[in-house]
Structure 1
Amino acid sequence: MPTLERLSIVVPVFNEEENLPLLYQAICSAMAAIPWVWEVVFVNDGSQDRSGEVLESLAVFDPNHVRVVELRRNFGQTAAIAAGIDHAFGDVIVLMDADLQNDPADIPMMLEKIQEGYDVVSGWRVHRKDAFLTRTLPSRIANGLISWVTGVHLHDYGCTLKAYRRDVLTGFKLYGEMHRFIPVYAHGVGAKIIEVPVRHHPRRFGKAKYGLERTLKVILDLFTVKFLNSYANKPIYLFGGTGAILIFLSTLLLLYLFIRRVFFGIGVLTSPFFQMATMIGILGFQSILMGLIAELLVRTYHESQGKPTYTVRRIIREGVEEPVSLSNTR
């Protein structure tokens, strides 16, 4: 596999003016011994302190390595990460927070894993330096739930420090709080994923931007991710399967009513079970119809935009690896 040499470190920023100079120095120190062409893409997500001024001064001081993307208002961490990825030039994208809790010194180790052939290197904060009840415990519960629902088993979905090959980040858009689910999307296109322990430091300046209310958002986003990852190309399996189960239950209830009528002489139409069976049967039929409509929408989505229903890792012809482009996937 060819050596990748271009790296973009994407850092979403919201009110981190005191942390930014120290973070920049730490990144420069970490990258000093690595023969990669690299850049840092700072995304100013509507900061209300002097973060914008600090970032501008860093871009002027080091124009070869610092790029600043300034959003018009605060759109949230996921949107800021998406903006950074869109404006990055790297073959490998590293995401990290601006609060100095992620350590840039872990980046070289993660790049080694990328060069070993992994598509996603996910950080795992083994010794997390956050409050246990308000941050660590809810995070562990959420990580267990996400791993169980998606089938992608990681200890620390909430750790922003992750490295990705760019080609596994294409083909999907990020909404809500879905940046933490990028490994799930990448797994859906066949990415090779590894989780590695990384350092985690206590916050030195500023305060955390998220609390327990974020847990509810993550759970709601999890429903969307599960549907998109498992049923986006085959919605009839979800809606049709649910409809078939409902119709089967309705049939069992009607059979039960018929047996009661034949052997015990109990009326069918006056039983509340008859009304229940009728409603369940109607819901089952409607669910199957929804699945068929969803199938039409999926086909319209893919065929109108020329989107393939598969992804290609690489193409080898006559012993030589060819670059993968959209035309190769059709």
Structure 2
Amino acid sequence: MQTTVESIRSLTDTASPIELSVVVPIFNEEESVGPLVERISAAMAGFSMSWELILVDDGSTDATLANARGYLGRDGLVLRIIELQRNFGQTAAMQAGIDAATGRLIATMDGDLQNDPKDIPAMVAELERRELDLLVGWRKDRQDGLLLRRIPSWCANSLIGRMTGVKLHDYGCSLKIYRASIIKQVKLMGEMHRFIPAWVAGVVPSSRIGEMVVTHHARAHGKSKYGISRTFRVILDLLSVMFFMRYKARPGHFFGSLGLGIGALAMLILFYLFVDKFIMGNDIGTRPMLMVGVVLLLSSVQLITTGILAEMIARTYYRDDASPNYIVRNIFDGDRRDA
């Protein structure tokens, strides 16, 4: 049984040419998935390019999958549904949809009806006009709670922009348009979907990343999957992003620089104590500075060796293909079902 990305590619290799793939991860959205498909179909009715809709069911425990399958085979709608084996998270579900996409361009959006699919045609035209590789939606007039969502989001966007150098107003908006050839060079892991512009900036200049004001609706059905706790996870994820952006291919430089700096401080302390002991004749056996110097020297050696090990791991990672971070249970393609 094919349960990884190969099961997706077996379909995409024989698919007819598509210009735009619309990827939507969904999880427990039984009330929203029907209106979602209807809105996307209506918004794309006059679209001049060929397009497909890819729904990725991220292990829903309600009737989301059954409701989505009701639209298979509908006239004028090229729909594929990818059912993941369990809930892997939004980032993994988005990666599965991107892997399955056959379009030259890829649009991603949330499945909770807060993003407006009517913005997609205009965003595609804007991306082509400005010759961008990524166009990010900006929810300028957000319909979320001020304290729990908008203020933490504003702080996170400002911090991310300062640390990554990619200046955007809204990193967290899932409504984005990509060139498939670019986004497929980026592997999404963990909960890193909110940092996609930073990851893309690792393969293209930041000047090829832009933003556009989009419509944002209040949530009509279900309950938000995010809370105030996400703010703290964003900070931890941001530190990881900064490390990978700067030291992904050379982690030894990060740990080695810290190790050499601490080692230099340790040597200064120990040299001072050497002079104080053997030239000045003072007793240093009970001085706290001696313990500090020894601990710093050992820490320096440990950091340098950690850097060497990290370099070895990085070289192994780049030599071998990383396994996907999701498992596919079924793929529904019209009347066809592949597992």
Q: TM-score range by the shorter chain?
A: 0.7 to 0.9
Which residue does 2:307 correspond to in 1? 291
Which residue does 2:103 correspond to in 1? 90
Which residue does 1:202 correspond to in 2? 218
Tell me if 1:30 matches 2:43. Answer: yes
Which residue does 2:335 correspond to in 1? none
What letter matches 1:8 in structure 2?
S
Displacement of 1:262 in angstroms is 7.5
Q: Is the 8 A contact 1:5 1:35 kept in 2?
A: no
Partner of 2:201: helix, strand, or coil?
helix
Cα deviation per residue 1:119-170 (whole Å; 9 max; x = unaligned)?
Answer: 0101111111100111111111222222233222222111111111112222
Q: Is the 8 A contact 1:123 1:197 kept in 2?
A: yes
Displacement of 1:243 in angstroms is 0.6
Tell me if 1:78 matches 2:129. Answer: no
What is the alpha-carbon distance in structure 2 between the residues aligned to residue 147 and residue 27 of structure 1? Answer: 31
Q: Is the 8 A contact 2:186 2:200 kept in 1?
A: no
Output the TM-score relative to the length of structure 2.
0.82
Which residue does 1:159 correspond to in 2? 173
Q: Which runs of 4+ in 1 moved over 4 A?
A: 258-265
What is the alpha-carbon distance in structure 2 between the residues aligned to residue 63 and residue 83 of structure 1? Answer: 24
- How does 1:123-134 map onto structure 2 within 5 Å? 123-134=137-148
Which residue does 2:198 correspond to in 1? 184
Partner of 2:216: helix, strand, or coil?
coil
- How does 1:1-330 map onto structure 2 within 5 Å? 6-62=19-75, 64-116=77-129, 117-191=131-205, 192-258=208-274, 260-261=276-277, 265-304=281-320
Displacement of 1:91 in angstroms is 1.4
Cα deviation per residue 1:63-118 (whole Å; 9 max; x = unaligned)?
Answer: 74221111222222111111111111111111101111111111122112321310
Q: How large is the RMSD of aligned CA atoms in angstroms? A: 2.2
Displacement of 1:273 in angstroms is 0.6
Pair 1:47–1:212, CA change in 2 (3 A): same
Displacement of 1:235 in angstroms is 1.1
Output the TM-score relative to the length of structure 1.
0.85
Which residue does 1:316 correspond to in 2? none
Pair 1:180–1:277, CA change in 2 (3 A): same
What is the alpha-carbon distance in structure 1 between the residues aligned to residue 292 and residue 239 of structure 2? Answer: 28
Q: Is the 8 A contact 2:262 2:297 kept in 1?
A: yes
- Structure 1 spans left out of the alignment, 5+ residues: 307-330
What is the alpha-carbon distance in structure 2 between the residues aligned to residue 29 and residue 114 of structure 1? Answer: 21
Displacement of 1:56 in angstroms is 0.6
Partner of 2:39: helix, strand, or coil?
helix
Higher mean displacement: 263-272 or 150-159: 263-272
Q: Count residues with an aligned counterpart.
A: 303
Partner of 1:86: helix, strand, or coil?
helix
Partner of 1:194: helix, strand, or coil?
strand
What is the alpha-carbon distance in structure 2 between the residues aligned to residue 59 and residue 216 of structure 1? Answer: 40
Q: Is the 8 A contact 2:41 2:77 kept in 1?
A: no
Q: Is the 8 A contact 2:253 2:307 kept in 1?
A: yes
Q: Is the 8 A contact 2:18 2:52 kept in 1?
A: no
Higher mean displacement: 292-301 or 228-237: 292-301
- Structure 2 spans left out of the alignment, 5+ residues: 1-16, 323-339
